[in-house]
């Protein structure tokens, strides 16, 4: 998952980013509304953590602007303002959740997990397909309670495909959401294909059903059979 953290307190922004990167999120930072606006216009994000009190913007004005380019992103407002009126303004502007400073990073993580489950239509943190169980909280895949030995990138790629089950994801989407960015010189390389091949091989050691479908000329799709 890729997150844009918009916060003018650099130490706080870096603390949040360090914590979330340790939880396997890809994080970009913006310390001004102008920089955030530019990033939102060119990069896809799953979440935006947004401070209201930016030096050059009313942060709430960024939400409708950002939704033009990141229509599927979820917005969590983080601010020192805790009054009811500010919360109402935030939700009316399109925010999905609200955290008043100071807040626990563990609480932030829990909110992100809850929104992720809601976003992809999963009531539980554990997604089952066949005898496999993908736990998006523990970042673990098991087969009949036996851990499946995936590398971090293999797990990230598989979980993103599973969360988007039934949806065709192209190589650019996979690269940007799993790796955070891409370089033109690397884009024609076959590392997505290599990772997909390795994931299929490891799953086949437990179950021969191939659930990761190649959609010729488009990308890949996960089917829960």
115 and 130 part of one domain: no
In terms of Cα–Cα distance, which of 120, 97, 105 is closest to 50?
97
Q: Any idea what the CATH number is for the domain that residue 109 is in?
A: 3.40.50.2300
10 and 113 part of one domain: yes
Contact status, residue 200 vs residue 209, Cβ threshold 8 Å: no
44 and 62 part of one domain: yes
Contact status, residue 110 vs residue 97, Cβ threshold 8 Å: no
Q: Any idea what the CATH number is for the domain that residue 177 is in?
A: 1.10.10.10
pLDDT at 184: 44
Q: Centre a 10 Å sphere on the Cβ of residue 65 and count the other Cβ atoms it contains.
A: 15
Return phi, psi of residue 122, to 5°.
-115, 120
pLDDT at 123: 59
87 and 160 part of one domain: no
Could you give the percent of the chain with pLDDT greater than 70? 88
**Has residue 33 got a pLDDT over 50?**
yes
pLDDT tens-digit profile of 140-171?
A: 999 999 999 999 889 989 988 998 888 898 88
137 and 32 part of one domain: no
Residue finishing a domain among 88, 119, 150: 119
The domain total for the chain is 2
pLDDT at 14: 94
Q: Where are the alpha helices (DSSP H) in the chain?
A: 10-22, 33-42, 62-69, 84-92, 105-119, 152-163, 171-178, 184-187, 191-204
| pLDDT bucket at 84, cuts 50 / 70 / 90 | low
| pLDDT bucket at 36, cuts 50 / 70 / 90 | very high
pLDDT at 185: 43
143 and 41 part of one domain: no
147 and 215 part of one domain: yes
Range of the domain at 69: 2-119
Residue finishing a domain among 73, 97, 119: 119
106 and 46 part of one domain: yes
Q: Which of helix, strand or coil describes residue 52?
A: coil
| pLDDT bucket at 32, cuts 50 / 70 / 90 | very high
């Amino acid at each position: 998952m890729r997150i844009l953290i918009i916060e003018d307190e650099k130490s706080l922004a870096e603390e949040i980013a360090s914590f979330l990167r340790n939880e396997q999120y890809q994080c970009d930072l913006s310390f001004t509304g102008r920089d955030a606006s530019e990033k939102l216009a060119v990069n896809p994000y799953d979440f935006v953590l947004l401070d209201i009190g930016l030096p050059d913007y009313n942060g709430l004005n960024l939400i409708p602007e950002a939704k033009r380019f990141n229509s599927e992103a979820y917005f969590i407002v983080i601010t020192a303002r805790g009054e009811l009126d500010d919360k109402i303004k935030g939700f009316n502007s399109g925010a999905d959740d609200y955290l008043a400073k100071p807040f626990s990073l563990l609480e932030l993580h829990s909110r992100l997990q809850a929104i992720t489950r809601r976003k992809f239509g999963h009531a539980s943190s554990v997604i089952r397909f066949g005898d496999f169980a993908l736990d998006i909280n523990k970042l673990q895949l098991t087969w009949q309670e036996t851990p499946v030995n995936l590398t971090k990138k293999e797990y990230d790629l598989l979980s993103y495909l599973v969360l988007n089950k039934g949806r065709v994801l192209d190589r650019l989407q996979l690269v940007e959401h799993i790796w955070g960015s891409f370089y033109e010189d690397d884009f024609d390389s076959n590392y997505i294909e290599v990772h997909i091949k390795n994931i299929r091989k490891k799953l086949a050691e437990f179950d021969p059903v191939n659930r990761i479908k190649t959609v010729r000329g488009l990308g890949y799709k996960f089917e829960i059979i």
